[in-house]
């Protein structure tokens, strides 16, 4: 149909032409009923034909110049045929309904495009920027890299950048689909189109407006919607042959009764024109883009970017899901999980006793002076437990060993086991008994002691590990619920660590101590068992992502490499989006199947009625165009995607 090839360049021109055509059609019918056929009715019908049929005629002629016969050509021929046999009303009605259905279909398609394009409107047009010792309001497009932008509470962030002043919470729902505000501190990345909810902040511009994550997301979805699914490509390639077949069948249905069966010209020709109308595959052709574009648009609104209809097809048929561990199933950064004390092990999952709290307060006081990730893990644990962290004085960093400082009149040391052994620390062996099994599992241990005179006394071992995301168990259970045969974890971590994490999450197959090339080999091996989806960060997992049937980049807001390498990009960091993606793709496949079956059944029913029961042309027109609109509206349901469906 011309619907999926014609670009709107003239505002509401076609809607106005359709309305004028309807007015001419009604006027012609009224005049003909009251005064009979006359030059006036011929003129009014001609007006109806011109206004409702001009776009279809233009499209048909453009196709004929390429030696292609399409559905628009069939509709124009049928309408002209109706006029020839003295049924101009039916011909004009056909052209009006055909034009009207095109308007409705374009409206439906526009909704799928506007659902994404409207995201750009979330970005403000102007920004308050520091220049020449003051502030000035400039257009977002005029911002230069490195400039400082001021964003007040409640305002939208105008550009991608890095927070250089202030703390706040940012609503990133427009970009990632995540409804909960995200805490931002100095050094955090922020993105255009998101909303600064609390404190006033200053942001350093890191990307121009056209290169922002929001702009790239819109471009990515536009490109995805332009890529056609396998079903759509097949139907469009078959359209030419089908159209030629319909014309030949129409000629046969007209000539055989007229020449060989004694049927008069008018009824034979009328039946042939009716057949041409009802046999046209408008609903079949439009059902696929209506469904696929809506599915892509709906997914993008919750932060799932599908790069084309073919990838949507693939997501609906996944048998095996392979996941990178670090940063996907785990947080990707160390967290303090246990403390080994002379009295035993205390888990931070449970309340600490008074001695444990005192040890953690002292450790956090020392580590507060360091920017090392392990140090941040200790400080974060203290703040998470709402402990008051005292001031450390006389702080001194000891290269290659650790640090020491005075905290509340005691001289503390924190650092490696080797340092404590070189210092002949007292009480070391008692802690090693409990710490060694944790070290063997791949956990990182930091030692804390107190110096009393010349003697160093080991007080505790701080145990840190990459923690499992709380939603990881939900992920595996939902994947199994959706019928995924196997969930595989791929990691370069130690075997013991991998097995411990995999068992807790419910992973079916655990592959550890892998290099990137090993992951690639495993993906190829898994593809022998079924269709494989690989989920990673889009950088070190690039070979495996490329080799899988479907590569998915996790948490890729603002990450150029992830957007380029993967077939599907999850803008947010939510594991729940993975089963949501599979469920949405399967729902899209069901809706597409519904549309195809419905459209095919309507065509068969109308063709049988036209051949065997003298179906009136107006009824055929209504049935044909009505089915086209119905499949379009059914596909639009996929614009709505809900997590409650899981």
Q: Which two tokens stand for residue 412?
A: 């503390």
Helix (H, G, I), strand (E, B) or coil at 264: coil
Residue with tokens 């051949």: 611
Task: Let me know: does 164 contact 203? Beta carbons within 8 Å.
Answer: yes
Span 502-531, mean pLDDT?
85
**124-211 CATH pick, 1.20.120.1200, 3.40.50.2300, 3.40.50.620, 2.70.150.10:** 2.70.150.10
**pLDDT higher for 337 or 232?**
337
The residue behind tokens 């620390």 is 425
Question: CA angle 84-90-91, nearest 5°?
Answer: 55
Longest dimension (CA), the chain: 122
Give me the pLDDT at residue 2, please.
Answer: 45
Site of tokens 């964003």: 151
Q: Note whether 236 and 285 are within 8 A (CB).
A: yes
Q: Identify the architecture of domain 331-467 in CATH.
A: 3-Layer(aba) Sandwich (3.40)
Helix ranges (H only) for 192-229 are 213-226
CA distances from 535 to 144, 485, 508 (A): 35, 16, 16
**Would the pLDDT of 299 be above 80?**
yes
Residue 551 has pLDDT above 80, yes or no: yes
Tell me what pLDDT residue 3 has.
41
All CATH 2.70.150.10 domain ranges in the chain, comma separated: 124-211
Alpha-carbon distance of 37 to 28, in angstroms, equals 9
What digits encode the pLDDT tens for the residues 435-465? 888 877 778 889 999 998 889 999 999 998 8
Given a contact cutoff of 8 angstroms between Cβ atoms, the answer to whether 106 and 8 are in contact is: yes
Percent of the chain with pLDDT strictly greater than 70: 84
382-409 core/surface letters (b: 16 or more CB in 10 A; e: else): beebeeebeebeebeeeeebbbbbbbee
Mean pLDDT of 177-203: 77
Q: Show Cβ contacts of residue 395 under 8 Å, excluding neighbours closer than 6 positions.
A: 366, 369, 403, 404, 405
Angle at 568 between CA 565 and CA 570, to 5 degrees: 105
Q: What is the pLDDT of residue 76?
A: 78
Q: Is 200 helix (H, G, I), strand (E, B) or coil?
A: coil
- Residue carrying structure tokens 């011929």: 42
* Cα–Cα distance measured from residue 359 to residue 549, given in angstroms and rounded to the nearest whole number: 50
Which residues are annotated as catalytic? 324
Query: For residue 225, what pLDDT is reported?
Result: 47
Instruction: Indicate where the chain has its CATH 3.40.1110.10 domain(s).
Output: 331-467
Phi, psi of 427 (to 5 degrees): 85, 10
User: How many Cβ atoms from other residues are within 10 Å of residue 354's Cβ?
Assistant: 7
Residue pLDDT, tens place only, 359-405: 999 999 998 887 677 888 899 899 989 899 899 898 888 877 888 99
Distance CA 20, CA 425 (A): 95
pLDDT of 176 above 60: no
Backbone φ and ψ for 121, nearest 5 degrees, come out as: -70, -15
Residue 486: CB partners within 8 Å, gap ≥ 6?
319, 320, 321, 508, 509, 526, 529, 530
Higher confidence at residue 163 or residue 493?
A: 163
- What CATH number has the domain spanning 304-329+469-582? 3.40.50.1000
Binned at pLDDT 50, 70 and 90, residue 9 comes out as very low
CA distance 172 to 360: 34
Geometric angle at alpha carbon 365, from 364 and 371, rounded to 5°: 70
- What tokens does 341 get? 């004390």
pLDDT tens for 228-275 read: 555 556 555 666 677 777 778 888 887 888 887 777 877 888 788 778
Average the pLDDT over 20-36 and give the result.
84
Strand partners, 532: 320
Tokens for 579, please give them.
């089963």
Using one digit for the tens of pLDDT, what is the confidence trace for 131-162? 877 888 888 888 888 889 998 888 888 888 88
User: What is the per-residue pLDDT for 4?
Assistant: 41
pLDDT at residue 485 above 80? yes
List, by residue range, all CATH 3.40.50.1000 domains of the chain.
304-329+469-582
Confidence of residue 12 (pLDDT cuts 50, 70, 90): low
| DSSP conformational letter for 602 | H
Alpha-helical (H) ranges within 441-494 are 472-481
Find the mean pLDDT for residues 472-496.
86
């Amino acid at each position: 149909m011309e619907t999926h090839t014609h670009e709107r360049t003239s505002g509401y021109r076609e809607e106005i032409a359709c309305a004028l055509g309807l007015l001419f059609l009604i006027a012609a019918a009224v005049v003909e009923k009251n005064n009979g056929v006359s030059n006036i009715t011929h003129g009014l019908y001609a007006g109806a034909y011109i206004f409702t049929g001009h776009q279809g005629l233009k499209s048909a002629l453009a196709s004929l110049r390429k030696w292609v016969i399409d559905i628009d050509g069939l509709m124009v021929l049928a309408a002209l045929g109706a006029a020839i046999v003295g049924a101009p009303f039916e011909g004009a009605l056909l052209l009006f309904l055909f034009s009207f259905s095109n308007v409705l279909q374009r409206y439906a398609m526009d909704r799928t495009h506007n659902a994404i394009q409207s995201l750009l409107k979330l970005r403000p047009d102007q920004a308050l920027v520091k220049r020449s010792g003051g502030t000035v309001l400039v257009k977002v497009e005029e911002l230069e890299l490195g400039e400082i932008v001021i964003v007040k509470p409640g305002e939208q962030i105008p550009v991608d950048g890095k927070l250089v002043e202030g703390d706040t919470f940012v609503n990133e729902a427009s970009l990632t689909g995540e409804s909960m505000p995200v805490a931002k501190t100095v050094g955090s990345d922020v993105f255009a189109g998101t909303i600064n909810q609390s404190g006033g902040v200053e942001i350093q511009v890191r990307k121009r407006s056209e290169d922002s994550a929001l702009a790239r997301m819109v471009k990515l979805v536009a490109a995805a919607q332009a890529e056609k699914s396998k079903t759509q490509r097949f139907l469009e390639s078959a359209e030419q042959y089908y159209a030629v077949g319909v014309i030949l069948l129409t000629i046969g249905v007209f000539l055989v009764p007229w020449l060989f069966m004694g049927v008069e010209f008018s009824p034979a020709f009328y039946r042939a024109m009716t057949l041409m109308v009802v046999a046209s595959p408008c609903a079949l052709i439009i059902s696929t883009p209506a469904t696929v574009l809506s599915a892509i648009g709906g997914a993008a609104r919750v932060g799932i970017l599908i790069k084309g209809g073919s990838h949507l097809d693939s997501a609906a048929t996944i048998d095996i899901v392979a996941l990178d561990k670090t940063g996907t199933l785990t947080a990707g950064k160390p967290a303090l999980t246990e403390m080994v004390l002379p009295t035993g092990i205390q888990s931070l999952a449970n309340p600490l006793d008074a001695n444990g709290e005192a040890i953690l307060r002292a450790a956090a006081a020392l580590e507060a002076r360091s920017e090392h990730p392990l140090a941040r893990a200790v400080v974060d644990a203290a703040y998470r437990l709402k402990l008051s962290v005292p001031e450390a004085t006389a702080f001194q960093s000891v290269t290659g060993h650790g640090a020491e400082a005075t905290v509340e009149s005691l001289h503390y040391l924190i650092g490696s086991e080797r340092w404590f052994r070189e210092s002949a620390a007292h009480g070391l062996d008692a802690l090693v008994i409990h710490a060694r099994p944790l070290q063997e599992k791949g956990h990182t241990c930091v030692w804390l002691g107190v110096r009393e005179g010349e003697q160093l006394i080991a007080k505790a071992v701080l145990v840190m590990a990459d923690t499992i995301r709380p939603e990881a168990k939900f992920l595996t259970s939902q994947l199994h619920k959706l019928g995924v045969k196997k969930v595989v974890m791929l990691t370069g971590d130690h075997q013991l660590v991998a097995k411990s994490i995999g068992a807790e999450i419910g992973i079916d197959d655990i592959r550890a101590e892998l290099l990137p090339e090993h992951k690639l080999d495993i993906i190829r091996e898994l593809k022998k068992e079924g269709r494989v989806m690989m989920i990673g960060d889009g950088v070190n997992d690039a070979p495996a992502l490329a080799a899988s049937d479907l590569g998915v980049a996790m948490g890729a807001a603002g990450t150029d490499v992830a957007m380029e390498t993967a077939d599907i990009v999850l803008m947010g960091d939510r594991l729940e989006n993975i089963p949501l993606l599979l469920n949405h793709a399967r729902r899209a496949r069901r809706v597409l199947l519904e549309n195809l079956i419905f459209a095919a059944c309507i065509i068969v029913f109308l063709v049988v009625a036209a051949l065997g029961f003298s179906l009136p042309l107006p009824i055929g027109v209504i049935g044909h165009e009505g089915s086209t609109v119905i499949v379009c509206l059914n596909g639009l349901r996929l614009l709505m995607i809900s997590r409650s469906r899981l």
